[in-house]
Amino acid sequence: GILQHPDGTVLKQLQPPPRGPREQEFYNKVYDSDCCDSILLQLREYLPKYFGVWSPPTAPNDTYLKLEDVTRKFSKPCIMDVKIGQKSYDPYASAEKIQQQVSKYPLMEEIGFLVLGMRVYHVSSDSYETQNQHYGRSLTKETVKDGISKFFHSGYCLRKDVVAASIQKVEKILEWFEGQTQLNFYASSLLFVYEGLCQATTVRLSDVTLAEKRRVPKGLLSGGDVLEYNNNIHVINSTENGKIEASVSKGLSKFYALHKKACSKRHHSQLSLKVENSEQDNVWKSSTCITQEHLNGNVLPQLEKVFYHMPAETKESANVEVRMIDFAHVFPSNTKDEGYIYGLKNLITVLQNILDN
């Protein structure tokens, strides 16, 4: 397995030959200090950083690749490993090896990717749900969309902001593959990581410090003078001094509807929103302090950045990492890696369907 080094990097033990030396050679080539190949220099952006090899003092013959810990900056990292490509065996594989790999997931050639595992943090229960490779291999053409969408569900709602940001990251990797003809990748994966802790937090609009960058669904903004009434939001109290309390009854999947006129007509500086999830008996609170100068200014554009459902133009606001990993089967080539490209395109299509539907 992957080990943790005291300096914060991770250690991946070198596999037996020829796989281990081949992966080490790949990293050495891409991260060579004298490298001036623009294709390889660009590729670094999509890999974990490489810090050479390391051996423990007590076992000098054991060699580990020393790599960036992509999950380190996250509080509750949600992680998914997706093998990409139509073939999970390389051109030099024996007939027996080919049969073994094909039998593991016969749909690999048609779908172009395979979910090897996922670990998802559920806010509602403060716990992780884990799925192994058997889960991914059970997915069919008809169920693969729903199977992958589980990775983006917080227990309260679908994290559309994360899906949108993931699409953009994968599209950048696809762009790199479309522009290179010197390497072909087999049995390599994409590692998806995002922050699972998505609590409502205090937001200071006076200096535009947004603790959580989320969006108000545009469909919830209407032309009325008061908070919009819909299936999720009910005004429970509107006091004379301008303090409004709203109860949200269906969890955190849809949030607050505010209208500029309602804000501008308030003469006091505080708007308090209490969010309740009646199903879980949890109370989430967000207190937003709005000074008088904001009431006739740009309050709504800032508030819109606070909550969940993000539009396409701000895809990358979510804290998401997508990195290529596992390079024991990378070979020189003079053609595009059509198998990997096919898998990336199919994966993007599935992610887009999750986002749209």
Spell out the domain ranges in the chain.
Answer: 1-69, 70-199+317-356
pLDDT of residue 357: 86
Q: With pLDDT > 90 as the criterion, what percentage of the chain qualifies?
A: 65
- Express each pLDDT in 109-147 by its tens digit: 999 999 999 999 999 999 999 999 999 999 999 999 999
DSSP 273: E
pLDDT score of 285 more than 80: no
In degrees and rounded to multiples of 5, residue 95 shows phi and psi of -60, -40
pLDDT score of 312 more than 70: no
HSE (side-chain half, CA atoms, 13 Å) at 91: 9
Mean pLDDT along residues 86-95: 96
Contacts 24+ apart (CB under 8 A), 147-154: 147/115, 148/80, 148/115, 148/350, 148/351, 148/354, 149/354, 150/118, 150/120, 151/78, 151/80, 151/118, 151/120, 151/192, 152/354, 153/120, 153/122, 154/121, 154/122, 154/123, 154/124, 154/196, 154/198, 154/252
Could you give the maximum distance between any two Cα atoms of the chain, in Å? 79
134 vs 116: CA distance, rounded Å:
8
50 vs 25: CA distance, rounded Å:
12
**CATH architecture for the domain at 70-199+317-356:** 2-Layer Sandwich (3.30)
pLDDT score of 251 more than 50: no
Mean pLDDT along residues 325-347: 98
pLDDT score of 273 more than 50: no
The whole model's pTM is what?
A: 0.70
HSE (side-chain half, CA atoms, 13 Å) at 106: 2
Give percent helix, percent strand, percent coil of the chain, each to the nearest 5. 30, 25, 45
> How confident is residue 198, by pLDDT bands cut at 50, 70 and 90?
confident
pLDDT score of 261 more than 50: no
